[in-house]
C-alpha cells in the first residue's frame, strides 16, 4: 500500500462504539477500540498517503443482528436517526466512497 498512491483502509465498527448499550457491552468495547485504532492509524499512515477511515453504522438488518430486530423492525429503529433499519447495501456504498479517490481529503 505504501508503493501505491492514494491507498485507503476502511474499518467497520458500529454505532455501539458511541451508544454503548449495556446488553452488548463487550461488543461495544471492541467497536470503541476500532474507532481508536482508526484515529491512530489515520495519523501514523498519513505520510505514506494511506487514508484510514471507520464506518460506524446503526442497526443493519443481517443474520448477525437478527435478535435485535426480530421483535419488530419499527421498534428496533426507534432510536435511529433515519427511523429504519439499514441494509448491507447502505454501508457498501459508504465504504465504496471511502475507498475511492473522491474521498481523498477524508482520513482518521
Residues that are catalytic? 27
* Chain centre distance of CA 84: 17
In angstroms, the CA 75 to CA 98 distance is 31
Judge whether 5 and 47 are in contact, CB under 8 Å: no
For the chain, the distance separating the N- and C-terminal CA atoms, rounded to the nearest angstrom, is 17
Q: Smallest Cα–Cα separation from 9: which of 99, 93, 106, 105? A: 99
In sequence order, the 6+-apart residues with CB closer than 8 A to the CB of 29 are none
Amino acid at each position: 500500500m505504501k508503493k501505491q498512491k492514494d491507498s485507503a483502509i476502511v474499518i467497520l465498527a458500529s454505532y455501539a462504539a458511541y451508544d454503548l448499550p449495556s446488553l452488548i457491552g463487550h461488543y461495544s468495547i471492541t467497536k470503541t477500540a476500532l474507532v481508536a485504532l482508526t484515529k491512530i492509524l489515520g495519523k501514523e499512515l498519513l505520510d505514506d498517503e494511506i487514508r484510514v477511515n471507520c464506518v460506524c453504522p446503526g442497526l443493519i438488518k443481517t443474520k448477525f443482528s437478527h435478535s435485535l430486530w426480530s421483535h419488530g423492525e419499527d421498534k428496533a429503529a426507534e432510536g435511529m436517526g433515519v427511523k429504519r433499519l439499514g441494509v448491507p447495501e447502505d454501508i457498501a456504498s459508504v465504504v465504496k466512497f471511502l475507498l475511492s479517490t473522491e474521498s481523498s481529503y477524508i482520513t482518521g
